[in-house]
Structure 1
Amino acid sequence: MTDFTATKAMFHLPEGMIYLDGNSLGPLPKAAPARMATTLRDEWGEMLITGWNRAGWMEQPSRIGDRIARLIGAGAGHVVMGDTLSIKVYQALASALEMRPDRRVILSDSGNFPTDLYMAEGLIASLGRQHQLKTPAPADVADHINEDVAVLMLTEVDYRTGRKHDMKALTEKAHAAGALVIWDLAHSAGALPVDLMGCNVDFAVGCSYKYLNGGPGAPAFIYVAPRHIDTVRPALSGWLGHAAPFAFDLNYTSGAGIERMRVGTPPVLQFAALEAAMDVWEMADMADVRTKSIALCDRFIAGIETTCPDLKLASPRDGRMRGSQVSFHFEHGYPAMQALIARGVIGDFRSPDIMRFGFTPLYIDEGDVDAAIAIISDVMENNLWDTEDYKQRRRVT
C-alpha cells in the first residue's frame, strides 16, 4: 500500500496554499534542489564536458524513459525522453503517416489539446499530400473510424473536462480498420494506470512537468511499440538519433531501437530535477493512486455541489470515466479563479468558462479538499470574485 503521508512529505508545498493545479505543473520535490546542485557543482562544475561519459548524461534519456515506462504499461527500452511534447507529437504522427502511405485521414477530436492539432495541421501543410484532419466530438470518435483513417491521434484525458477515452476499445477498433494509433498521455501519466502494451498501442507521447512533477519545461517522452521500433523511420533525423553520432557521418543512419527517436541534446539540468521526482514515484503504486484520486475528486464534487449551486459540473460524474481532475462551468470562471488564487486555492481557468482543479494523491489529502471547498464556497456565496482587478486577463490563465 502506498503511504501518501510519506509521499506528501517529499514535496515543497508553500504555507497556506492548497495546490490543485498539478495537472498543469507539479510542485517541487524537496530533493530536487540538492540533486540539481550536485549536477551543477560536481558534474558540470568539476567534470565539464567529461560529464557526458563520467556522469552518465548521455544515457539519461533512456534511463529515465525506463522509469516512466513502469508508470504507463511499457517495458524497458520502449520509452525515450527529450525535446518538447509538440516535437514528440510531430515525430509520432509523421512516422505513423509514413507507415500508411495510401490513406489520407488523421482522426482526432474537438477536445484534443490544441497543440496536437496545430502540429497535425502544420505537418499536413508540409507534406502537401492532401491529408485531412477530422475532429468530431470526443463521444463520436468511434463512429468516424473507418478504412480511410491512417492515424487515430487522441489525448486520453480531455484537458478541459477530464473526460477519459476508452484506450483499449478505440485502439482495437482503429486496428480493425487498418489504422495506427497515437495516444497523448499528458493528463494520464502519473494520474491513472496506463497499459500501453496491454492495449496494443502503436505510439504514445507525454510530458513530465504535470503529474510526474519534473518542473517547468521538463522534457517529454515518446513510446514506440516493440513491433515497430526497428523499422519505423524517424521523421526528425537528429544527431543523437543517429546510429553512431560521434562517427560524424554526413548521411543519416537510424540508431537501434528507441534510441532512434532521440533528436536534440539532453537537458541535463532538467533531467536532474525529474530524477528527483521519479524517486518519489518509486514509493507509489498506480492502482493506489487511482483509487485515492477518484475518492478525492468525488469528495470535492459532493462538497462543491452542496455549497455552490452556481457551479455546474463539467467533468464526468463517474470517476472511472474521468482523469484526476474536476472541472466546473461558471460564466465568470476567470475572475472567480483569480479570487481563489488570491486566497491560496490554486486551480486554473480554461476558455470559455471552465474552472479546473487537479487532484494528485501524492501530495493532496482529504484535509486539503475540505479546506478548498470552504474557501470556494465563501468566494462564490459572497461574490468575492466580482472586482475589476480579478477580471483583468493575464497572459497565463
Structure 2
Amino acid sequence: MSDVRELAARAEKLDAADELAPLRSRFVLDDVVYLDGNSLGALPANVPGRIEDVVRRQWGELRIRSWDESGWWTAPERIGDRIAPLVGAAPGQIVVGDSTSVNVLKALVGGVRLARLAQGPGRDEIVVDATTFPTDGYIAQSAARLTGCTLRPVTPAQVPGVLGERTAAVLLNHVDYRTGRLHDLPGLTAAVHAVGAIAVWDLCHSAGALPVGLDEHGVDLAVGCTYKYLNGGPGSPAYLYVRQDVQDRFDSPLPGWNSHADPFGMRPDFEPAAGALRGRVGTPDILSMLALEAALEVWEDVDVAAVRAKSLALTDFFLECVTSYVPDGLVESLTPAAHGERGSQVALRCSPKLSTSFEQGGTPIAGAVMKRLIERGVVGDFRHPDVLRFGFTPLYVGFGDAERAARVLGEELR
C-alpha cells in the first residue's frame, strides 16, 4: 500500500510540473488510460469541425472549385511541409499521399535506381531489416523482383557487416514495432553511405515521438504513417521524404498524372515533376488528407525535444511502477532500458506461468491479459502470442496514466 501511495503522489507532482500537460486539452479524451497511440492516435478536438467545413462548404458548396479556391491541389506538399519539422527536414522534401506500403515501394525501387545511376549496374542487392513490420518485408521482396536484386534480410545490428559493393539500398525501421527498440539511424545511415548505397528509413514508430534528424544525418529516402503519434486518424495518408539533392534523380516506379510536370497536359509521354512532387501518384484522398492537416495543428509551438524528454520520463516511470506493482517473474520488459535505444513504447513479455490463469480456448496469453486491462479502462494492445504493448504519446498521456496502468496490470496479474 505504501508503494501505491508513494508512486501516486510522485505521479501527481510530475503531472503538475509537466510543461506539455496543457496539450491534453487539444484532444478528445475520457477517463480511459489510452496507451495505444502507437497504433492509432487520439482524436484532436479541432478535426470534427474542420471536416464538417470540408464536407459541407468546400465539397458541398464550392464543389470542384475547391481544388483551387480551398487549396486541395497543393495539399500533399503543403501538409508535407507541416510534417517536415517533426522529422528534422527542411521544406520542399516531403509529399503526403498513399499508404506507407506504397511509399516503401516507391522509396526502395527508387533507391535502387539511384544507386545504379551513381555506382553502376553491379548494385544488385537489397538489405532489409529481418525484424521489420511484415508489410515492409513483403514490399522489399517485391522490390527485389522488380529490380532484379537479391534480397538479404539481416538484423539491424548485422547491417554494417553485410554491406558492400553489391549493396544498392537498405530498408530499416527506426523503432522496432514489437519491442520499442530505437535503432541507430545516424550510425547505420553513415555505414550505408560508406559503401555508396542508399538509406531508406521507415519512421512509422518514431515520427511525432522523438527527434529524427533526416537532413542532419543525410538520410536519402524515408517513409512514415500519420495515424500513430501524428494523430491523423484511421487510415490517414502516409508520406514520402526525398532528400533535396537527390530529387532530380529520383525515379519513382509509380509515375502517375499527379507526378507529371504538366498534369493537365494529358501527354502520353511522362515527364516527372520537379522536386518531391514526383513522389505523388494519383488524385489525393482529400477528406483524409485535410483531417490530417487539421490534426497537425496540435503541434504548433511544440518542441520535439521536449516531447522526447517527456517520453523517456514517462516510460522510465511506467517501468518503475511495473517493477513495484507486478509480482516478480510474471512479465519481462523487451524494451531497452538505455534511453538511446528506446522509442516511445514499452513492450512486456508475459511469463508462461500466466497461461493457466489467462490462456483459454486458444486465446494467446497477451490477448487475454490485455482484454482484462481494457475492461478496467487501460487500453494498450498485444502482439501474438505473449507481448503486451503500451504506447506513450507525450502530448496527451500523463504520469498519472502511467501509474494507473501499471497498478491495474499488477492487480490483474496477482
For Structure 1 versus Structure 2, the TM-score category normalised by the shorter chain is over 0.9
1:136-176: CA deviation from partner (whole Å, max 9, x where unpaired): 22332222222221111101100000111111111111111
1:106-156: CA deviation from partner (whole Å, max 9, x where unpaired): 1122221111110111222334x2x22222223322222222211111011
Contact 1:60/1:271 (8 A) holds in 2? yes
Q: How does 1:140-289 map to 2 (within 5 A)?
A: 140-289=158-307
- After the TM superposition, list the runs of 4 or more consecutive aligned residues in structure 1 that deviate by more than 6 angstroms: none
Amino acid at match of 2:307: V
1:36 corresponding residue in structure 2: 51
CA distance in structure 2 between the partners assigned to 1:49 and 1:62 by the alignment: 20
2:321 corresponding residue in structure 1: 303
Q: How does 1:120-131 map to 2 (within 5 A)?
A: 120-127=140-147, 129=148, 131=149
2:25 corresponding residue in structure 1: 9
Amino acid at match of 1:339: R
Q: How does 1:36-185 map to 2 (within 5 A)?
A: 36-99=51-114, 100=116, 101-127=121-147, 129=148, 131-185=149-203
Alignment TM-score, normalising by the size of structure 2: 0.89
Structure 2 SS opposite 1:326: strand
1:350 corresponding residue in structure 2: 383
Amino acid at match of 1:305: T
In percent, how many aligned pairs have the same letter? Answer: 45
Structure 2 SS opposite 1:28: coil
Across the two proteins, how many residue pairs are aligned to each other?
378
Alignment TM-score, normalising by the size of structure 1: 0.93
1:24 corresponding residue in structure 2: 39
CA distance in structure 2 between the partners assigned to 1:116 and 1:7 by the alignment: 33
Amino acid at match of 2:20: F
1:239-273: CA deviation from partner (whole Å, max 9, x where unpaired): 10001111111111101111111012111111222
Structure 1 SS opposite 2:319: helix
2:337 corresponding residue in structure 1: 317
Answering whether residue 394 of structure 2 is matched by residue 361 of structure 1, we say: yes
CA distance in structure 1 between the partners assigned to 2:229 and 2:336 by the alignment: 20
Deviation at 1:235, TM superposition (A): 1.2
Amino acid at match of 2:139: M
Structure 2 SS opposite 1:246: coil
Amino acid at match of 1:378: E
Deviation at 1:2, TM superposition (A): 8.4
Contact 1:2/1:288 (8 A) holds in 2? no
1:373 corresponding residue in structure 2: 406
CA distance in structure 1 between the partners assigned to 2:321 and 2:31 by the alignment: 20
CA distance in structure 2 between the partners assigned to 1:299 and 1:321 by the alignment: 17
Structure 1 SS opposite 2:397: coil
Contact 2:156/2:172 (8 A) holds in 1? no
Do the aligned partners of residues 298 and 2 (structure 1) sit closer, same or farther apart at CA in structure 2, a change above 3 Å counting? Answer: closer
CA distance in structure 2 between the partners assigned to 1:2 and 1:193 by the alignment: 19
2:312 corresponding residue in structure 1: 294
CA distance in structure 1 between the partners assigned to 2:297 and 2:133 by the alignment: 29
Amino acid at match of 1:217: G
Contact 1:325/1:357 (8 A) holds in 2? yes
1:391 corresponding residue in structure 2: none
CA distance in structure 1 between the partners assigned to 2:60 and 2:67 by the alignment: 13
CA distance in structure 1 between the partners assigned to 2:386 and 2:336 by the alignment: 16
Mean Cα displacement is larger for which, 29-38 or 369-378?
A: 369-378
Structure 2 SS opposite 1:141: helix
Deviation at 1:285, TM superposition (A): 0.5
Q: Which runs of 5+ in 1 are unaligned?
A: 382-397
1:10-33: CA deviation from partner (whole Å, max 9, x where unpaired): 0011x3310001011001001000
CA distance in structure 1 between the partners assigned to 2:389 and 2:49 by the alignment: 32
